Structure 1
Amino acid sequence: MTDYLQTFLLEHLEAAEFISILLNILISITGVFPSAPLTFVNVKLFGFWNGFVLSFIGEVLGAALSFWLYRKGFRTLVHTKTPSHSKSLKLLRVQGKESFILILSLRLLPFVPSGLITFFSAVGKGSFAVFISASALGKIPALFIEVYSVYHISQGSMQGKIILMVLSIILLFYISKKWKKKA
């Protein structure tokens, strides 16, 4: 997939940065595709810092547009279909400082899907300003770690090899815990 993305962006080099941002927005709206392959291509084509900035802009704009779309499309539905005694409703009531801290904390966790954070924020009571500020602030360190890892993995450096080894161990640990739960 990364080869296809890279080839596509190289074929449209004059608009590659704009296309990359649009792709990141589409990834955010769908909420199911990981942004890591696009981040990898951004770093490979545009360098470490330019790739970071492009990915950051795309992810923040994508989160903002997704929030707006989800709020317009799902907020009323979720509140009418969720029982008033449900524990999930408590998550939807978070506002202000509490909402900011919760969104920021979730954005810092690497394995929490971005689309879920956006969705629950959009259908909840928190404001757009709180959501976008917490999301942007939380995406900086999370995206930096992702870009740093992608950069060193793509360079084949010793740090990249260590990162791959740690990620492999985490993945194996996660899979083994899932298998143990099923057994």
Structure 2
Amino acid sequence: MDLEFIKEWFTLENIMDLINEYRSFGPLPGILLPMLEAFMPFLPLFLFVMANASAFGLWLGFLFSWIGACTGALLVFLLFRKYGQRRILRFLQKHSKVRSGMNWVERHGFGPLFLLMCFPFTPSALVNMVAGLSKISIQQYMLAVLAGKLVMIFTISFVGYDIRSLLTQPARTAIVIVVIFILWYAGKRIEQRMNMSAENEHNG
């Protein structure tokens, strides 16, 4: 089973079937799927959140997705915070882009991290890893994660809780597409600015 097959399998329909199949476990599938995305960033968090909102309703779907995504982010952060100095992971800190990212996170703190977490297309696994290796406090980091992912996941949940209306109401579909594009574009711009800032620090 290769990576491409796994990516192709994760469609909204298949994810909803999976959640419904394990409905007897209560909220567990809805929490575990977003949590797994923190460790395997190729998994589609966007689809997990939409499927949860459709399967459990807007508020419960949002809550389960938020708990799962924040728990996953915290676990990745803590793993790299605890084992980042060990020999097996020490090579990461020697990488110039990782080093620059760590310095950037330490200097800018809560604000930019919060903005990054607001956007569904941000490479959050990389952000969690770099933050774990940096000297940012766990309180500052978790505040950014909890607040940023709250904004991002509620936005996606609102889109996903009534998916059928996207098919029957073209105007709403158009609005959703525009919002997704704006989020994607804004996230990319912030990511580019981060990369430019990191490169300037490295060259300077």
Q: Which residue of 1 aligns with 2:121?
A: 111
> Which residue number corresponds to residue 5 of structure 1?
15
The Cα of 1:144 is off from its aligned counterpart by 1.6
Counterpart-to-counterpart distance in 2, 1:66 and 1:10: 28
State the alpha-carbon separation in 2 of the partners of residues 129 and 102 from structure 1.
15
Q: Structure 2 matches for 1:88-167, cutoff 5 A?
A: 89-93=99-103, 94-95=105-106, 98-156=108-166, 157-158=169-170, 160-166=172-178
Q: Distance in 2 between matches of 1:137 and 1:170?
A: 20
**What RMSD over aligned residues (CA atoms) do the two structures have, in Å?**
2.7
Residues 46 and 120 of structure 2 are in contact (CA less than 8 Å); yes or no, is this contact kept in structure 1?
Answer: no
CA-to-partner distance for each residue in 1:113-145, whole Å, 9 max, x for gaps? 221221221121112221111111111111122
CA–CA separation in structure 2 for the residues paired with 1:114 and 1:34: 12
Unaligned segments of structure 1, at least 5 residues: 174-183
AA aligned opposite 1:115: A
Offset at 1:152? 4.9
- Contact kept, 8 Å, 1:56 with 1:143, in 2: the verdict is yes
**Structure 2 unaligned spans of 5+:** 1-10, 186-204
Q: Out of 58, 62, 67, which is 1:52 matched to?
A: 62
User: For this pair of structures, how many residues does the alignment match?
Assistant: 167
| Contact 2:34 2:48 (C-alpha < 8 Å) held by counterparts | yes
Map 1:79-94 to 2 at 5 A: 79=93, 81-82=94-95, 89-93=99-103, 94=105
| Partner SS state of residue 95, structure 1 | helix
Deviation at 1:149, TM superposition (A): 2.3
The alpha-carbon distance between structure 1 residues 38 and 119, as it changes in their structure 2 partners (threshold 3 A), is same
% identical aligned pairs: 27
Q: Say if 1:40 and 1:9 are closer, same or farther in 2 by CA, change over 3 A.
A: same
C-alpha distance in 2 between matches for 1:161 and 1:154: 10
The answer to whether the Cα contact below 8 Å between 1:70 and 1:123 also exists between their aligned partners in 2 is yes
Alpha-carbon contact 1:153-1:161 (below 8 Å) kept: no
For residues 91 and 44 of structure 1, the distance between their equivalents in structure 2, rounded to whole angstroms, comes to 36
Residues 155 and 73 of structure 1, relative CA distance in 2, 3 Å threshold = farther
Letter in 2 for 1:49: W
In 2, Cα distance between the equivalents of 1:87 and 1:45? Answer: 40
